[in-house]
C-alpha cells in the first residue's frame, strides 16, 4: 500500500468527501458531513440510492467501472465507504488518486470472514472456532473437526444473515456448501452466549482513539432489532470491549469508525464475532445521545479533523424500523423520541427503512 | 386567502417539501426533512446558496419570476420559507398551486414592522412605543411625539440591524429617514430592558401548539451572539412567554415554527420586540437538546405531521460563529460540543457562518 495517497492536511470546510455506497449509512454520513460544512459526493450503482437525496453531487456507476471511479475520485478531497463489499482493485485505484480512509488493508481483512478471524486471533483476542471450507470434502472434514452443529458462512459478501446456513450433520454441511455454489466458506461453531454487544469506536491517523459506550444488541432473523445503552455489560466489560477495539484498530492502522460485534459469554468473557470497517447500525443512538455522532466521528477521522468526545449525555434505546413497519410512519411520528426514515422507496421484507431512538436520563457513563 | 390550497392529508415520507430561500435556515430545514425521509427542493436567487448542497433538487431563480416559481411549486407537495422578505405576490401565486405554510397572512403582517406592532397590541400584548414615519415632516413629528431619543427603522426588509439608525435629535431623525431613501419607517422608543429573550414555538393546522423553553439571548452589533437555556427567565416568565407566543400563533392561524423576540423589563414584564414567521437563530440549540429540533418541528407542522415534544433533555448554550471566526474552524472542532458550519464560501464580516452548542446536565425544565 506504499502507493496509497495520504492526507497532507485536514480537509477544510467546503472540501468534498467522497462516499462509496448510497444506502442509509452513506446518507447519514452525508448529513453529518454537511453539519461540518463539508460537501459530499456519493458514488453508487443504484440509481435510486437514498443518499443521493442529501449530497451535493452523485455518480451512478458500477464499482468496477475504472473511468467512472477515477472521475469520482478526482472530484473528491478524500474518499470513504459505507459498506465493506467494495472490490479491492477499486479501492487501490482510488487510493492512487486521492486518500482513502479507512485503508485497503482494513477492507481486505474484513472482507473475508476467515482472514478476519485469523486476524482477531493474531491480536490475542478470542473469537469463535472456525474451519476453512473450500471443497465438498472439506465441508465434511470441517464438520468432523468441529465435532457438532455449526453455521456455514461464505467467506465473502455476507450481511444480515445472507450467505449463512445452520448445519446439523456432515451431509447438511456439504449441501449448504453446494447451495453457496461452492463459494469459499467457513464452518463456525455455535457460541453459547449470554447476550450480544458491540463497540463502535474511532481511530484517527495520529493514533488517537475514542470509543462510544458499548450497547447491548438484540437481533431478530439475523437483523439488528434493538441497541440499548447501557445494556447488561458491566463497567469492566465495557472497558474491556473498548480496549479490544483499540487493539484491533491499532493493528489495522485504522482511520475512521469501526464496529466490533461481540458475544458476551455466560462466564463474562468477550468473544469477537465480526469487525465492520465502517459506521454501524448499533451506533445510530449516538446521533441523539452524544454531541458528536458516529457519523460525524467517522467524517472527522477520515478528513483528518480531531476526534470528538464519545461521551454520551443520556441513556438510549435504538430500534430499527424494518420493511413494512415503515408504513406505520404516522404512529412512529406520534411517539416521544427521535424518528429517522431513510427515504427508501420500497419497504421490502427485512429492509432497514428507518430507526427510532428514545432517550432517558443518564444512569451510568 | 380563500383561494389558498391547504393540505388534504399529511405529506408522506418520500414527498417533497419546497423551501424558499437557500441560507443556513433552509439548509438546516432540509437536513431535518431528510431525517424524516422527506425530499426537499430549495428555491433561491443565489446560485451559491448553501442549502443547495443538501437538498434533492434546487432551482436558481428570482422570487419574482412567475414561471420559475410556478414550476417549483408544481414539483412540491408543500412549500415553506426560511426568511420573511418574500414578495406577497409570490406566496399568493404558489398558494394557488400547492399549500404554503405558514400562510400569507402571517407573512404579510410580519413583513411590516408597523403592522406587526399594531397586530401585537391587538393581541393584548405589550410592545415598544412606535410612531409611523412616511415623510421628513413625519420624522420630525414622530420624534416630538416620542419625546426623546429612539431608533428609526424601515418598516420592511430589515434584519440583523440593517435598516436601523439610532437618533438623538429631530434633525438626526429626519436625516436617517432620508438616508433610508424615505422608505416608510417607524420611530421606536428605547426600551430599558434587563435582558433579551425569545420563545420559539410551533403551531399545527389543528391548533395544537408546542413551545420550546425560552432562551436568554445576547446580541452584539445587533447580531445574536449567544442563546442560553435556561437563562435568567423565571419559570413564571417562561410560562408567560409561551402563552403569549400561543396567543400570537392562534391569532395568525399559524402553521409552522415562529419565534417571538422579547425584552424582559426590569420589573419582570415581557415586551414583544419582533415576530419571525420562521425557524430562528435563537432556537438552534434545540438540535442537540431536544429529541425534535425546531427545524424538524417546522417540517412536521408544515407537512401536517404531529408536533414532537418540545421537552429538552439538557441545558444548552448556543454561540454563533460569525464572519472570520469561522477561519478558526480547527479550534472549534477541538472544543467539546456540537459544531455546525453552514458551507458558506465567503466569511464576510458579521455573516453567520456556523454555530456551536454546548450541553450540560438538565437543571430545570
Instruction: Please state the domain extents for chain B.
Output: 16-100, 129-189, 193-361
Q: Which one of B308, B337, B341 has the shortest CB-CB distance to A37?
A: B341
User: What residues of A are in contact with residue B309 (Cβ under 8 Å)?
Assistant: 336
How far apart CA B214 and CA B208 sit, in angstroms, is 18
Whether B84 and B157 have beta carbons less than 8 Å apart is answered as: no
Residue A194 corresponds to which cell in the numbers above? 449470554
Subunit contact B54:A34, Cβ cutoff 8 A: yes
Subunit contact A31:B35, Cβ cutoff 8 A: yes
Whether A88 and A104 have beta carbons less than 8 Å apart is answered as: yes
Residue B7 corresponds to which cell in the numbers above? 393540505
Among chain B residues, the shortest Cα distance to A39 is held by B53
User: What residues of A are in contact with residue B308 (Cβ under 8 Å)?
Assistant: 333, 336
DSSP state, residue B10: P
For residue A214, which of A263, A160, A252 has the smallest C-alpha distance? A263
Subunit contact A291:B359, Cβ cutoff 8 A: yes
Task: Please report how the helices A88-95 and A66-74 are oriented relative to each other, as an axis angle in degrees rounded to 10.
Answer: 40
SS3 A286: helix
How far apart CA A345 and CA B225 sit, in angstroms, is 42
Residue where the block lists cell 429573550: B197
Q: Which residues of chain A have pLDDT under 70?
A: 1-2, 158-161, 364-365
Query: Topology of A16-100 in CATH?
Result: Rossmann fold (3.40.50)
Q: Which one of B38, B291, B334 has the shortest CB-CB distance to A359?
A: B291
CA angle A97, A78, A22 (to 5 degrees): 105
Q: How crowded is residue B127: how many other Cβ atoms within 10 Å of its Cβ?
A: 21
User: What residues of B are in contact with residue A10 (Cβ under 8 Å)?
Assistant: 330
Q: How crowded is residue A182: how many other Cβ atoms within 10 Å of its Cβ?
A: 14
State the complex-level ipTM: 0.93
- Both ends of chain B: CA-CA distance in Å? 39
Q: Which one of B288, B291, B339 has the shortest CB-CB distance to A337?
A: B291
Strand B164-167 relative to strand B185-189, pairing = unpaired
A54 near B CB under 8 A = yes
pLDDT tens, per residue, chain B with 365 residues: 457 889 999 999 999 999 999 999 999 999 999 999 999 999 999 999 999 999 999 999 999 999 999 999 999 999 999 998 899 899 999 999 999 999 888 999 999 999 999 999 999 999 999 999 999 998 899 999 988 899 999 998 766 667 889 999 999 999 998 998 988 999 999 999 999 999 999 999 999 999 999 999 999 988 999 999 999 999 999 999 999 999 999 999 999 999 999 999 999 999 999 999 999 999 999 999 999 999 999 999 999 999 999 999 999 999 999 999 999 999 999 999 999 999 998 889 999 999 999 999 888 65
How far apart CA A141 and CA A223 sit, in angstroms, is 30
- Tell me which of A28, A39, A49, A291 to substitute to probe the interface with B (most B C-beta atoms closer than 10 Å): A291
B361 near A CB under 8 A = yes
Q: Which CATH architecture has domain A193-361?
A: 2-Layer Sandwich (3.30)
Subunit contact A343:B35, Cβ cutoff 8 A: no
Residue where the block lists cell 430592558: B193
The pTM of the full predicted model, rounded to 2 decimals, is: 0.95
pLDDT digit string (tens) for A49-65?
999 999 999 999 999 99
A 21-50 near B (Cβ less than 8 A): 27, 30-31, 34-39
User: What residues of A are in contact with residue B333 (Cβ under 8 Å)?
Assistant: 36, 300, 305-306, 308
DSSP per-residue string spanning B24-64: HHHHHHHHHHHHBT-EEEEEES-TT-GGGGGSSEEEE--TT
**pLDDT score, position A160:** 63
**pLDDT score, position B102:** 95
Subunit contact B54:A54, Cβ cutoff 8 A: yes
Subunit contact B54:A36, Cβ cutoff 8 A: no
How far apart CA B318 and CA B329 sit, in angstroms, is 16
How far apart CA A202 and CA A297 sit, in angstroms, is 7
Subunit contact B53:A56, Cβ cutoff 8 A: yes
Query: Topology of A129-189 in CATH?
Result: Dna Ligase; domain 1 (3.30.1490)
Amino acid at each position: 500500500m506504499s502507493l496509497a495517497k495520504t492526507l497532507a492536511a485536514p480537509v477544510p470546510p467546503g472540501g468534498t468527501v467522497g462516499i462509496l455506497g448510497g444506502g442509509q449509512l452513506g446518507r447519514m454520513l452525508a448529513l453529518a458531513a454537511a453539519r461540518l460544512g463539508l460537501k459530499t459526493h456519493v458514488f453508487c450503482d443504484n440509481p435510486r440510492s437514498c443518499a443521493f437525496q442529501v449530497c451535493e453531487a452523485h455518480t451512478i456507476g458500477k464499482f468496477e467501472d475504472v473511468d467512472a471511479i477515477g472521475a469520482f475520485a478526482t472530484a473528491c478531497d478524500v474518499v470513504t465507504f459505507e459498506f465493506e463489499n467494495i472490490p479491492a482493485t477499486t479501492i487501490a485505484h482510488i487510493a492512487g488518486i486521492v486518500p482513502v480512509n479507512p485503508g485497503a488493508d482494513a477492507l481486505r481483512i474484513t472482507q473475508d470472514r476467515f482472514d478476519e478471524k485469523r486476524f482477531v486471533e493474531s491480536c490475542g483476542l478470542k473469537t469463535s472456532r472456525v474451519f476453512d471450507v473450500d471443497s465438498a470434502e472439506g465441508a465434511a472434514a470441517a464438520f468432523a473437526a468441529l465435532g457438532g452443529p455449526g453455521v456455514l458462512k461464505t467467506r465473502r459478501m455476507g450481511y444480515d444473515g445472507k450467505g449463512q446456513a445452520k448445519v446439523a450433520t456432515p451431509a447438511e454441511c456439504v449441501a449448504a456448501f453446494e447451495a453457496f455454489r461452492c463459494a469459499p466458506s467457513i464452518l463456525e461453531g455455535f457460541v453459547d452466549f449470554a447476550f450480544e454487544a458491540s463497540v463502535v469506536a474511532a481511530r484517527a491517523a495520529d493514533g488517537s482513539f475514542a470509543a462510544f459506550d458499548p450497547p447491548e444488541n438484540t437481533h431478530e432473523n439475523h437483523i439488528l432489532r434493538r441497541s440499548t445503552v447501557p445494556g447488561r455489560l458491566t463497567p469492566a466489560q465495557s472497558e474491556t470491549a473498548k480496549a479490544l477495539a483499540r487493539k484491533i484498530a491499532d493493528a489495522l492502522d485504522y482511520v475512521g469508525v469501526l464496529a466490533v460485534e461481540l458475544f458476551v459469554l455466560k462466564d463474562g468473557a468477550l468473544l469477537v464475532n465480526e469487525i465492520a470497517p465502517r459506521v454501524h447500525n448499533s451506533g445510530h443512538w449516538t446521533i441523539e445521545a452524544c454531541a458528536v455522532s458516529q457519523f460525524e466521528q467517522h467524517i472527522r477521522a477520515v478528513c483528518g479533523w480531531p476526534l470528538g468526545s464519545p461521551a454520551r449525555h443520556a441513556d438510549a434505546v435504538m430500534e430499527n424500523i424494518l420493511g413494512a413497519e415503515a408504513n406505520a410512519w404516522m404512529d412512529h411520528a406520534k411517539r416521544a423520541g427521535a424518528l429517522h426514515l431513510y427515504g427508501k422507496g420500497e419497504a421490502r421484507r427485512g429492509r432497514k427503512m428507518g430507526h427510532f431512538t428514545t432517550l432517558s436520563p443518564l444512569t451510568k457513563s
